[in-house]
Amino acid sequence: MPVLATPTVHLPEHVITQRETLDLAWRLHAGHPKIRLVTRMIEHAQVTKRHLIRPIEETLHHSGFEHRSTVFAAEAKKRVPPVVEQALAHADLAPRDIDAIVFISCTGFMMPSLTAWLINTMGFPSRTAQIPIAQLGCAAGGAAINRANDYCRAHPGSNALIICCEFCSLCYQPDDLDLGSLLSNGLFGDAVCAAVVRGDNNATGVLIDAQTSHVIPDTEEWISYAVKATGFHFRLNRGVPDTMRGFTPDITAFMRTQGRDITALDFYAVHTGGPRILEGLREHGGIPNDKLRHSWNALTDHGNVASVAVFDVLTRIAANPPGEGAVGMVAGFGPGVTMELALGRWTNGNIR
């Protein structure tokens, strides 16, 4: 049975605090009719700081979609390899042992995928399967785990490497005054992560027992990008904050098929989409708030780092791991509106 080994997460060196974000919002958009609403929403998000790949002065300047794409490729090639090396070390594997690479990003586009460059640069076998996922947004962290699990189950004894590279700051649009876009300016951060799913379960991490996907009908426009000449423009529907009301019945039903109770798991690695996501799991799912503390802390420390978020939470769980056999779930939510969820048990394996 495949096991998701302990992830590695990299946070870029440049930091912006909530106070600085609010000051910028007032300075740049003082005349916006909903500026007070926007700043209240940013304050409610409880994000004390976020990490950026560039200084704030460069981030605020839109240098063009072409230049931003060049920055994405250069920064990815600089930041991804050391994260991959550490993730491989966590799983006690070398590049030659990897059979598939699942590469995730919703904040930059390359073709061929960065996977081809990694195979040529880091010594992965030329036969390595490439599985890039670009359009699932924040749900893609959960999707990456599930697709890597699918691959390892379909190819017994194989190993899959997951890489998430999210530079949300490259999507900043200084002239976009849409409410969802302004809110995103105070919520999203940059991060890179990597993790290995070992097909032989010989690793410390989450032994994956079951998984599920779900799309809430007729919500495909709730979370989206408007693709324009200036790049990706984030769009958010007013129905999104109540998303958990739609998902929790399906999570509850899925848990029952596995003989589990959604309220009684030992750990929860939930995507840090914002306070309303976590509050909704408590209100509609009955999950104790203390069990969601790692997600709350990740949101406070780093903001919403898109597909990296669930791995950020998993690193916190791994820092003070639950006991052998402890049961937990990993869940990501994103455009569609989509949920990707994995259910598993903590294992200490036979390696670090």
Give kind and range of the element (H or E) at residue 231: strand 231-236
Classify the phi-psi angles of 175: left when phi > 0, otherwise alpha if psi is within -120 to 50, otherwise beta.
alpha
Strand partners, 159: 198
Pair 203, 91: CB distance under 8 Å: yes
**Cα gap 202→194, rounded to integer Å:** 17
Pair 272, 298: CB distance under 8 Å: yes
Count of residues making up the chain:
352
Give kind and range of the element (H or E) at residue 253: helix 243-257
Cβ neighbors of 51 (< 8 A, separation 6 or more) are 11, 12, 13, 14, 15, 189, 190, 191, 302
Cis peptide bond prior to 337, omega within 30° of 0: yes
Pair 173, 231: CB distance under 8 Å: yes
Pair 295, 268: CB distance under 8 Å: yes
User: Could you list the active site residues?
Assistant: 138
Pair 320, 195: CB distance under 8 Å: no
Cα 160 to chain centroid, rounded: 17
Q: DSSP label at 321?
A: P
**Cα gap 266→327, rounded to integer Å:** 5
- Of 159, 265, 253, residue with least CA distance to 212: 253
**Cα gap 256→313, rounded to integer Å:** 24
